[in-house]
Structure 1
């Protein structure tokens, strides 16, 4: 008998997922905003307050703060425009058109962002009533109530830190790259048809879509670390994950080029194996070590515990050393083969160059250098963007010393 699943129970089990958390938090905040607006507003149904809270409450505290500021800004600007037009011309078809045009243009100048249409909506709603001033004040008040409730809700009930989903997405991407390399390690043996080689090429191209999804998860994680009181080393976590994903993205691009090279070899050798048996054995071993290197690299950049990170780094160093050793063996075998049978020698050279590029991107010292450079760059940008905050931090450090 098939198991019957309760949608509510399923929702509870998935409460840590971003979409589920956003749904629950937005609903609660909107209801609270409506109750508060019923007490403070003169309107019988102050729906602008829950609407604002619904828009303002985001999955991260940083997004909530920026969204609330843009939303209030858009409503206030629209109300001011409506008051100005109503006092001069009143409501007609041409004044309505001028109001909408002015609202959309001014909304761009005041940097309302995605709430530019909200400027025009607020202006039209206020312009279309008889008691302009009273309606305008009510709309501003309800908007402020919704924004404040939404902001306080995320301050008191801080949204989760979405680092773990981003880490899992990165590990999933690395797992798919590892699987592709393992498939290549099997296909280099014996004869490989063009269709089989092309399938690996299409699989490598599908990694582009995976990278887009991982990037979205990482952006959400980066936002959740900003202004979050739960996080002490937010910048370090953001930089480690971002630079790690950049490395995997470069490796994925080179891996796609590598599969294209193997596909070209398959087209040129339709009646014979891709490689001689000893070369195929060396390449197979090399691809296995490369797949383990990518897996170890993903574990390294997503490990939150120092012991796990050290173990992953040691594993990565071992696999990279083994990969370089296998690469040297394959290079000598390919060179001997080219000297004896110089067909498609350029594809052999391209294959080695692509392998070298992937191994170089995964190199531990290069990763450390890139990490330090990115931390320095972001720290410098923060100091230049917020000089007063930087001075205050300096004085606090001096006071503690």
Structure 2
């Protein structure tokens, strides 16, 4: 990437903000300006417009937080600016000193970045574009509260976002990839593999951890999108089901990684000929099949055809097999124990 291209890449997002959110920001800004002009005539309601613009966020919960941050920051900044303006006037060095004081006030109070940054901004605006009078200071506070309230109301009333679809897709994708890992293990045990192929299987399995983290973050975003959302009761059941399914995926991720690591570390060319391996291969394939049934139980996507089944769970009771060859008993025993726990997770055994 060339220098100019790299520079412009820093200015652009990988994805556009949803058009609806842009429209809500514009609507909230215009409404806040108009309402503030009606409530406080004869002023330019900059504080109201800024507050409305900043409060409209991707979720209602974020809007509530931003409204509180913005309101507290403005009130604190206006009070500081008014006090300093009355005592020291409005010379340029006074404005600069007031901004520095405001920065340290935010640090001393351990405020969030939103509130801490808003205090010096408000101090600067009040001392530079306004007069340090009680009426002016009070008007700016009222103006900010109007803007924050308008932004919050617009975000609640105009189709508040619900982020359930990305969370559901992430959980389904995680379960499907765990099933694919079981199938790759079954193939490795049935058909001789090279060291490079075993390494590829291990590296692919390790991608489950990032997928798990992505699903967890998506569930967190979905839960946040329902907080203070008037439609939350309608969607809460679906989100709780996805969260419960994700909780069951955690041990399966660990087990699939353990089995993949064990096969990678203890593999030898004679393993596919081990008589005790074939039942384990069958069980891995059944685990993959039943896991797909589990993750798609409430999903519209069709289950891929299976020669052994027509959609009926197949996972058997824990394996009972003969004593394996001395060179393979560590691996076989490890796989049996992990499969036992996989069985418990998939069928929901206590």
Could you state the TM-score of these two structures normalised by the residue count of structure 1? 0.70
Q: Which structure would you say has the larger RCO, counting Cα contacts within 8 Å and 6 or more residues apart? A: 2
1:342 to 306, 326, 332: 326
- What's the RMSD between the two structures over aligned residues? 3.2
1:175 aligns with 2:167: no
Q: CA deviation at 1:30?
A: 3.1
1:284 is matched with which residue? 281
**Rounded Cα–Cα distance in structure 2 between residues aligned with 1:352 and 1:24:** 57
Q: CA deviation at 1:39?
A: 4.8
User: 1:1-400 counterparts in 2 under 5 A?
Assistant: 19-37=18-36, 39-40=38-39, 42-44=42-44, 46-90=45-89, 91=94, 93-106=96-109, 108=110, 112=112, 114-129=114-129, 131-133=131-133, 136-232=137-233, 236-266=237-267, 269=268, 272-276=269-273, 278-300=275-297, 302=298, 318-319=312-313, 322-325=314-317, 327-328=318-319, 331-332=320-321, 335-337=322-324, 341-364=325-348, 366=350
Between the two proteins, the alignment pairs up a number of residues equal to: 322
Q: CA deviation at 1:119?
A: 2.0
**Rounded Cα–Cα distance in structure 2 between residues aligned with 1:251 and 1:127:** 60
Where 2:315 maps in the other structure, the secondary structure is helix
Structure 2 residue ranges without an equivalent (≥5): 1-15, 303-308
When residues 195 and 19 of structure 1 are mapped into structure 2, their CA distance, relative to the original with a 3 A threshold, is farther
Could you state the TM-score of these two structures normalised by the residue count of structure 2? 0.79
Q: CA deviation at 1:35?
A: 4.2
- Structure with higher helix content: 1
Q: CA deviation at 1:245?
A: 1.1
1:311 is matched with which residue? none
When residues 32 and 364 of structure 1 are mapped into structure 2, their CA distance, relative to the original with a 3 A threshold, is same
**Rounded Cα–Cα distance in structure 2 between residues aligned with 1:163 and 1:95:** 45
CA distances 1:129-172 after superposition (whole Å, capped 9, x unpaired): 56123553454234223211111112322414322332122112
Where 2:121 maps in the other structure, the secondary structure is helix
Q: CA deviation at 1:265?
A: 1.8
When residues 24 and 96 of structure 1 are mapped into structure 2, their CA distance, relative to the original with a 3 A threshold, is closer
